Every structure is written in structure tokens, then in C-alpha cells.
Amino acid sequence: MEVLDYDGAGDCFYEPVDLNNPAVLMQGGLDPSESDPRFHQQMVYAVAMKTIENFDRALGHPLRLAGVGRKAAAYPRLRLFPHAFYGANAFYSRDLNAILFGYFHADSSNPGPNLPGQTVFTCLSHDVIVHEMTHALVDRLRPLFLEPTNEDVLAFHEAFADIVALFQHFSFSDVLREYIQRTRGDIRTPSPLVELARQFGYATGSGKALRSCLGVEGAKLSPSVLEPHDRGALLVAAVFDGFYKTYQKRIYDLIRIATGGTGQLPAGDLHPDLVNRIAGEAARTAQRVLEMCIRAFEYLPPVDVDFGDFLRALITADYELVPADPDLRDAMIEAFRNRGIYPAAVTSLAEESLLWPTPNLPAFGADTTWRLQDIFFQAIRSFDTGGWTSSVTLPPEPQSQVAEEDQGEEFRPDLNAAFAKQLAGYASLNAAALGLDSKPPNKIQVRGFHPVFRVAPNGKLLVELVAQFAQQDVRERRTLGGVPFRGGATVIASAEGEVRYLISKPFDRQGGAQVAERAHARYQRQLRFISSADARNPKTPYMSSDEYDQRIAALASFSALHGG
């Protein structure tokens, strides 16, 4: 990752901060200053790193920030531009492998706590930085989530970016204690703790923070809510509700002790010791929810995600790590139900029916399993960034880049070529069970794989391989507004090569009865999504034929999504 301080509006570079300078190191970094661009650079860097740390820790493997896709291959590092342009916006661009932060003048008539016309820098907003970083990280984990194939896909991208920003608030202990004292422990009271991008929201003249995570009381997911931020807000609210319920349960004993059993807090300030203990519980619960949400990525399909998939992934991820502690999972299930978010094709909302199924798939072959050990060993080495030297001769560089040219689409998965080939062979042999189709001209792509290491609270080390497969029907691209019809599967295997979970989005509409039916239903849903998007877009009848062919793909532009 690198911070490049090029000011697009002023066409100039600002002097870069040297965070290794002894004078800067001695005071623990530059002091906050709105007028010093070097502080802006430091802020962007620090908050971005904290977000990456949270992902790396929760996922149990380090994420790579090299560019995704053909155009960004030239940029091996994610680039952060704190003063990229003039405008009340900030966005992640995949093609530039960059996050561009804008700056603007606060509204002159209704600037909130800002001065009228004051320069407001989006790069000084913790929430804006985390939100954009999360878009960039999600794009590494699931690049195909930028293809709007149903009404939840882009909403999920937006919601997830807000969820990470929200739960990172709880790691600032001074702020947390202050608001616990002010709200007397009821963190559902509107405050900067549960609102996002306050300065930005007020400065644009809206008279409020950009977004609140509380959601509208009693609001439920409905087919008519289609704008990605509005739809995403319901998912954020559901996760917050689940968090809040768990938090309340965890502080209940503290309140009872503090009130001699009545549960009624006396008037006036809370005792600082009580505030400390409540803040500790809030921070721990928030961190666990954040890690649960990030870990859920390992259990998401590679394509066509919806909110119900996310609930199932959350439950499976948490169950895998702490099977004996269902409180948080129960609270999440309840909260999702209250927001009207239901997974498709489950028989009930009980934990065991929400867990992804263990499929009837054969274990990996002996040669694949053998290479798997090698992959795990290489991954263990990569944890040691200090440059571990060993007398053992190690295998050559683990990550050779393979470019796959497939039906006009090029992508560069970050993987070991020989192992990828074996996985591709496995997928093609078991295509029917994966819901995919290996008959030419259809081809199954290995979209990526990585080992996962996690330590459960009981000290148990969990080692698994996550592999993603996907394929597309190229004939349909034009009729579907530039977004192909895709199918895919995420396969979770143990270190011994036994397949433990299968998360499948069936592709083969001519295959076995059950697969064909589900694949067909997905196809129909994609068509319905396109007609509803067309109905909402007044420009549709006036598009050129090129624009028309790409109109659905064009929805997934973050600069447009975040604008205004």
C-alpha cells in the first residue's frame, strides 16, 4: 500500500511525511492538524493499516493488495490519494487500484458544526477511510461481487463497508467510555458511536451524519427498497441489533451488581469503574462481531451473493470457531428475522439448518493432498515478515502468476499453478456435485484458493483450505446488460483434503433435475433484477446501443454510487 499526495484539483504534489523520521517517531507521529497535508497522509495510512490488520487477523491469512483485473495489473500496490480531487465524494477505483479522497467547501447556509465554506477533507474521516478500504479489501476477497446480479449484491458491498467502519468505533476506548457515560450504557442512543461520517454529513448541508447504523425502528427488508445504500442499511441495522442484544446480555450482571439487584441505575453520572467495565464488554463484543463478519467471507459463494447467504456464512463461521457458545449466533438469527432477512432454501431458522451443508463430495486425491501440505507450509512461512532464514532448502517462490485467458476474460489469480491445475481437475470431475458444468464450451475457472489458520478460544488450531470455482455463460452477456450469467462454488476442505462445506450457486441449467431447477431460478432472478433496474432508470430509453448493452455493469461504479 502507498500514500501518494497528488492534488488533482491544484495539479501539485504535497511534501510526503516520513513516519520513520526520528523526530516524528519520538512523539508517536505528527499531532492532529487540519492544515498540514502530512498529517492527512499519516491519518489515511494509519486508519487504512488498522482496517487491514482487522481483516488479516480475522481471516487468518494476509491479504495481498496488488491490483485486481487486467487494467490494474500495472499497480502492484493499492494507492491512497488523500487530496485526489475537488468534490464531496471519495471512492475506490479498481482500474486505478486506488482510493481517491475528495475535499470540498462546507455548505454556506447549513454547515452544522463546521464554518460556512470551511474546507472539509474526506481523508480526515475515519469512517470514510475505513469504508473505502473495505470496498478495496472485499474486491480482493470476492472480485465478482462487483457484478450486480441481484438486488443484494451492491447493497452488500455498501453494508459491509459500513459494518467494518461502525465496529471499529468501539476500539477507541476513550471515545467509547465517554459515550457510555453520556448515554448511561444505552449505546442505541444516537451518538457519534453509532453514526457514520458526521462531519461529512453536516458539511454537505444535510443537517445530520451521513448514515446512522441504528436503522429505522421496525423497518424490514422489502422488494421495493433497491437503492444500494438504503437496502444495505437494513443489513447494517440487523447486524447492529444482534450486537446490541448480545451486549445487553453481557452487561446485565454488571448493572445488577451496581444497583444492588434492582437493575435501575440511579440518576447522575455512572461510577467510572462501572463505565470502564461496560466499555470493556462493549469493545470485546464489537470486536467479536467484527471478526465474525469478516470471517464469514470464507463461507460466502464466489458469485451472486445475497443477504441470506451472509447470515448462513456468519453462523457457519462462528460455529466453526466457537461451537459451544451460541449466544451471538442466536442473537444474529433473531435480529435478521426481525429485519425480514431470510435465507432461501432452508427449512427453518434453527442454527443447524442455517449451517452450510456438508456435501457428498469425494476427498481430494493423494497428489493434491500432498501438495496441500506444501501450500500450508508456505503459508506458515509468509506469516513471518521478519525474514525467517532456515537451513532447509525451501521450494521455489510460492506465488507464481498464472494468467488465464478464458472466453475473452482475463484474470490473474494469485496462486500456485500446479495446485490450481489439480483443483481444476477435481472441479471438472465433480462438476455435477458442485452444480457446475464442465462440458465444452463451458469451462470451470479456479478463481483462487488459500489456506486459513485460526486459533479458537480453547487454543485449538483450525487449518483449512478455501477454494473458489466459477464459470460464466458468455452467450448471455449482452442480453444481461454487460453482466454475465455465472455460477460458482466455494469449497472448504480440511488439511487432509476432506471437503467440509460446499457453498454453491448452481450454473448448469441443463444438468440434473435439482441443480437445473436452482440454476434456472437464479437466472430468472437475474432477469427480474434487470427489469426492475431498467424501470428505475429514467435514462434507459435514451441510451446508445453500447450504453444499453453495458447498463447493468455500469451500476457497479463506486464513483457514481457514492456521488451526491
Contact residues toward Zn ion (CB under 5 A) are: 158, 161
Residue among 231 and 477 whose Cβ is closer to Zn ion: 231
The closest alpha carbon to 257, from 273, 269, 242, belongs to: 273
- In whole angstroms, what is the distance from residue 13 CA to residue 7 CA? 6
Our CA angle for 484, 488, 490, nearest 5°, is 150
| 356's grid cell | 452450510
Q: Please report how close the Cβ of residue 99 comes to Zn ion at its closest, in angstroms.
A: 11
Q: Please report how close the Cβ of residue 92 comes to Zn ion at its closest, in angstroms.
A: 8
Q: 446488460: which residue's cell? A: 481
Q: Please report how close the Cβ of residue 536 comes to Zn ion at its closest, in angstroms.
A: 19
DSSP line for 362-401: PPPPHHHHHHHHHHHHHHHHHH-TTT---SSPPPS-S--B
Residue among 161 and 499 whose Cβ is closer to Zn ion: 161
Q: Please report how close the Cβ of residue 87 comes to Zn ion at its closest, in angstroms.
A: 15
Question: What amino acid occupies position 75?
Answer: Y
The closest alpha carbon to 84, from 123, 114, 120, belongs to: 123
Task: Name residue 272's beta-bridge partners.
Answer: none
Q: Please report how close the Cβ of residue 134 comes to Zn ion at its closest, in angstroms.
A: 8
On the question of a cis peptide bond just before residue 441, with omega within 30 degrees of 0, the verdict is: yes
507 backbone dihedrals φ, ψ, rounded to 5° = -115, -35
Residue among 161 and 194 whose Cβ is closer to Zn ion: 161
Residue among 40 and 135 whose Cβ is closer to Zn ion: 135
Q: Please report how close the Cβ of residue 312 comes to Zn ion at its closest, in angstroms.
A: 24
Residue among 135 and 245 whose Cβ is closer to Zn ion: 135
3 state SS of 24 = helix
**Which residues touch 465 (CB under 8 Å, ≥6 apart)?**
372, 375, 376, 449, 450, 451, 452, 492, 493, 494, 495
The closest alpha carbon to 278, from 192, 189, 181, 171, belongs to: 181
Q: Please report how close the Cβ of residue 185 comes to Zn ion at its closest, in angstroms.
A: 31
Q: Do 278 and 317 meet the contact criterion of CB atoms below 8 Å apart?
A: no
Residue among 161 and 283 whose Cβ is closer to Zn ion: 161
Q: Helix H segments across 296-326?
A: 307-321
Q: Helix H segments across 339-365?
A: 351-354
Q: Do 104 and 78 meet the contact criterion of CB atoms below 8 Å apart?
A: no
Residue among 161 and 552 whose Cβ is closer to Zn ion: 161
Q: Please report how close the Cβ of residue 201 comes to Zn ion at its closest, in angstroms.
A: 14
- In whole angstroms, what is the distance from residue 372 CA to residue 423 CA? 10
Q: Do 154 and 148 meet the contact criterion of CB atoms below 8 Å apart?
A: yes
Q: Please report how close the Cβ of residue 557 comes to Zn ion at its closest, in angstroms.
A: 11
Residue among 180 and 239 whose Cβ is closer to Zn ion: 239
Residue among 158 and 195 whose Cβ is closer to Zn ion: 158
Residue among 158 and 309 whose Cβ is closer to Zn ion: 158
The closest alpha carbon to 235, from 326, 177, 180, 166, belongs to: 166
- Cα separations in angstroms, 239 against 212, 223, 243, 246, 286: 13, 20, 6, 11, 11
380 backbone dihedrals φ, ψ, rounded to 5° = -60, -40
Residue among 95 and 367 whose Cβ is closer to Zn ion: 95
Residue among 133 and 552 whose Cβ is closer to Zn ion: 133
Indicate the helix (H) or strand (E) that contains 91: strand 90-93
Our CA angle for 415, 418, 422, nearest 5°, is 100
The closest alpha carbon to 281, from 257, 316, 304, belongs to: 257
Q: Please report how close the Cβ of residue 167 comes to Zn ion at its closest, in angstroms.
A: 16
- In whole angstroms, what is the distance from residue 437 CA to residue 458 CA? 41
Q: Please report how close the Cβ of residue 219 comes to Zn ion at its closest, in angstroms.
A: 20
Residue among 72 and 161 whose Cβ is closer to Zn ion: 161
Orientation angle between helical segments 272-295 and 228-258, nearest 10 degrees:
140
| 203's grid cell | 458539511
Q: Please report how close the Cβ of residue 162 comes to Zn ion at its closest, in angstroms.
A: 8
- In whole angstroms, what is the distance from residue 554 CA to residue 534 CA? 12
Q: Please report how close the Cβ of residue 7 comes to Zn ion at its closest, in angstroms.
A: 23
Q: Please report how close the Cβ of residue 170 comes to Zn ion at its closest, in angstroms.
A: 21
Residue among 88 and 161 whose Cβ is closer to Zn ion: 161
